Amino acid sequence: MTGGRGPAPPPGLIDTPILVAYREGEPDAVRFVLDIRHVRPPEMSELSALALFAWAYDASSHMGVQNFLNTADVYALTAPIVHRAYRLLNRIPAPSGLTADDALIAATALAHKLPLYTLDPAKFAGVPNLTAARPY
């Protein structure tokens, strides 16, 4: 694959479904990630990196994930991030629609003061101080 089509979006944490779509070759996701990679490393949670490894179906795809992650900024799931995710799920009234994975991604974005690029911004609407945007 070669470059994307437009200017790189501002820095932001990329949600797992977008990264999985990129790895699967979904055209909009590929353009979005390549536009970012043209100017800076894509930013993601360690949780998303783990999901990409889980997606790898053979040694070649596993190596592809490793190569991609070597050119990315992967933010660790630290104890403060996990505690923040716990507090988010504890404080947002049910039914919030947020999964534990979503809360960890949101907490990572908040901890690093980044907006979140997601395919479902409405899901994150109840997270205080989080900007969630659909990139395409």
Cα gap 102→61, rounded to integer Å: 25
Sequence spans of domains, the chain: 13-133
Amino acid 27 reads: P
pLDDT of residue 2: 43
pLDDT of residue 52: 96
Res. 118: pLDDT tops 80 = yes
pLDDT of residue 128: 95
CATH of domain 13-133: 3.40.50.1010
Written as six digits, the tokens of 24 are 């699967």
Residues with Cβ < 8 Å from 105, sequence gap 6 or more?
Answer: 13, 15, 16, 45, 47, 48, 116
Cα gap 107→4, rounded to integer Å: 29
pLDDT of residue 5: 60
pLDDT, tens digit (0-9, with 9 covering 90-100), for 10-48: 999 999 999 999 999 999 999 999 999 999 999 999 999
Res. 3: pLDDT tops 60 = no
In angstroms, how far apart are the furthest CA atoms of the chain?
A: 44
Average predicted confidence (pLDDT) for the chain: 93
The band of 96, judged by pLDDT with boundaries at 50, 70 and 90, is: confident
